[in-house]
Amino acid sequence: MMEIFDRKEIELNKQGKKSEKQIKEIKQMMNPGMWMYVGLGILVAGGCFSTVLGGSGMAFLGIILGLSGLLAAGMGFKKWNQRRVLLAEKIQTASGRVFFKDGAYVAETSAGKKISHLGSSGAEVPPGKYTFYFLDSHNWLLAADPRDSEEEMKNSVNQILAKTFEYNMEYLESTRKDAQEGIIKSAQGIPELSFFMESVPKVSEDDIDETITHTYYTIGGFKFEVPQSSYILSKFPHRVYYLEDKLQAIEII
């Protein structure tokens, strides 16, 4: 689990410097190029429609396209300005923690400031205590330096999983023993996410068409449904315990 924390990046951030990787991430995620090109293309198309085809209807279409082009170009300028600010901004440091709330892992400083994981390429940061390095203007997380041990972080994740799937830690321990004795089966690996959409049958003709999205993970060949994908840190290996086709327990390893 500790392999996700880049010590060289953390040391650079301690010195108030951004790593080459972090600079590249900012440039990629705040790239104004696409918006600028789209805006320019729409503006040119709008001008062509108005000039070549003429007529009030085509003129109106040209105006709509022109406004859309200006909107896209404006978004491009906004991205350019955000990138400029992030690249020049001073790195902030704060202690805090990552915890699970309302179906998501949240990074928050001790002062209550929430920090976006997008800054670290949407990296999954396990629950625990950290020193955060971030950019204040966009709550942009650059790096998180763990203060907890790997065992403490794994235990926190396993408690969240136990609560999600409605069992306690004592049950997890007994399930491990059952697997060792061959009473139930186990499998391990990196979780693979998948979805299944199911139509809801109408009760009457007045009912609206509805679909239910089922979320699944597959670990070591065993597939099981989860309330939502954010409960599981999908970049880390897990072990599942199961009997026939029913999940008994799951833990991060």
pLDDT, one tens digit per residue, over 3-60 is 888 999 999 999 999 999 999 988 887 776 654 555 455 555 555 555 554 555 555 5
62 within some domain: yes
Position 178 in a domain: yes
Q: Which of 65, 88, 111 is the last residue of a domain?
A: 88
Token pair of 83 as six digits: 């990138």
The pLDDT, as a whole number, for residue 137 is 84
Quick one: 244 and 188 in the same domain?
yes
Neighbours of 176 (CB within 10 A): 16
Instruction: Provide the pLDDT for residue 29.
Output: 78
The CA distance from 198 to 206, in Å, is 19
pTM for the model stands at 0.74
For residues 181 and 239, state if they share a domain.
yes
Q: Is the pLDDT of residue 78 over 70?
A: yes
Return d(Cα 92, Cα 134) in angstroms, integer: 5
Does the residue 11 lie in any domain? no
> Quick one: average pLDDT of 144-164?
95
Average pLDDT over residues 111-120: 79
Token code pair at residue 106: 């949240």
Strand pairing report for 238-243 and 222-226: unpaired
User: In total, how many domains does the chain have?
Assistant: 3
| E strand or H helix at 111 | none
Q: Residue 196 maps to which CATH number?
A: 2.40.50
Domain-embedded: residue 191: yes
Same structural domain, 113 and 181 = no
Where is the domain boundary, 88, 109, 135?
Answer: 88
**Region class of 119: left (phi > 0), else alpha (psi between -120 and 50), else beta:** alpha
The answer to which of 72-81, 85-94, 141-150 has the lowest mean pLDDT is 72-81
The pLDDT mean for the chain works out to 83
Note whether 84 and 95 are same-domain residues.
Answer: no
104, 127, 146 - which closes a domain: 146
79: confidence class by pLDDT, cuts 50, 70, 90: confident
* Position 122 pLDDT exceeds 70: no
The 8 Å CB, 24+ separation contacts for 141-148 are 141/107, 141/115, 141/116, 141/117, 142/9, 142/13, 142/18, 142/22, 142/91, 143/5, 143/6, 143/9, 143/10, 143/13, 143/22, 144/5, 144/98, 144/107, 144/120, 145/5, 145/10, 146/2, 146/5, 147/95
Q: Which domain holds residue 115?
A: 91-146
- The pLDDT value given to residue 36: 52
- Give a yes or no: residue 21 inside a domain: no
How would you list the strands of the sheet with 104-109, edge to edge? Answer: 114-115, 104-109, 92-101, 128-135, 140-146
| 169-223 pLDDT tens trace | 999 999 999 999 999 999 999 999 999 988 877 777 776 778 888 999 999 999 9
Task: Provide the percentage of residues in the chain whose pLDDT is more than 90.
Answer: 53
Is residue 109 situated within a structural domain?
A: yes
Q: Confirm whether 4 is domain-assigned.
A: no
